[in-house]
Structure 1
Amino acid sequence: MPRYLSLVQIDERNAPAEGPSPELMRRMGELIEEMTKAGVLLDTAGLTPSAQGTRVRYEGGQISVTDGPFTETKEVVGGYALVQAKDMAEAIEWTKRFLKVHEAHWTVTCEVREVAEG
Structure 2
Amino acid sequence: MPRFMGFVRMEENIGTPPQSLFEAMDAHIGERAADGRFVDGGGLYGTEDAVNFVVRGGEVSRVDGPYAEAKEIVGGWSIMEYATVEDAVADMQVFAELHATHWPEVTVVSTLRQISTGPEAPGD
TM-score by structure 2 length? 0.85
Gapped runs of 5+ residues in structure 1?
none
The one of 1, 26, 32 equivalent to 1:35 is 32
1:54-104 Cα offsets, whole Å, 9 max, x none, are 111111111111111112211111111111011222111221111222210
* 2:108 aligned partner: 108
- Distance in 1, Cα, partners of 2:63 & 2:41: 26
What is the one-letter code of the residue matched to 1:64?
A: S
- Distance in 1, Cα, partners of 2:92 & 2:78: 9
- Distance in 1, Cα, partners of 2:49 & 2:110: 21
| SS of match in other structure, 2:113 | strand
TM-score by structure 1 length? 0.89
- Distance in 1, Cα, partners of 2:71 & 2:77: 18
What is the one-letter code of the residue matched to 2:37?
A: V
* 1:56 aligned partner: 53
**Deviation of residue 49 (structure 1)?**
0.4
What is the one-letter code of the residue matched to 1:4?
A: F
Q: How does 1:50-89 map to 2 (within 5 A)?
A: 50-89=47-86
- Distance in 1, Cα, partners of 2:50 & 2:97: 28
Instruction: Give the RMSD, CA atoms, in angstroms.
Output: 1.3
The count of residues paired between Structure 1 and Structure 2 equals 115
Q: Percent identity?
A: 29
Gapped runs of 5+ residues in structure 2?
119-124
- Distance in 1, Cα, partners of 2:18 & 2:64: 28
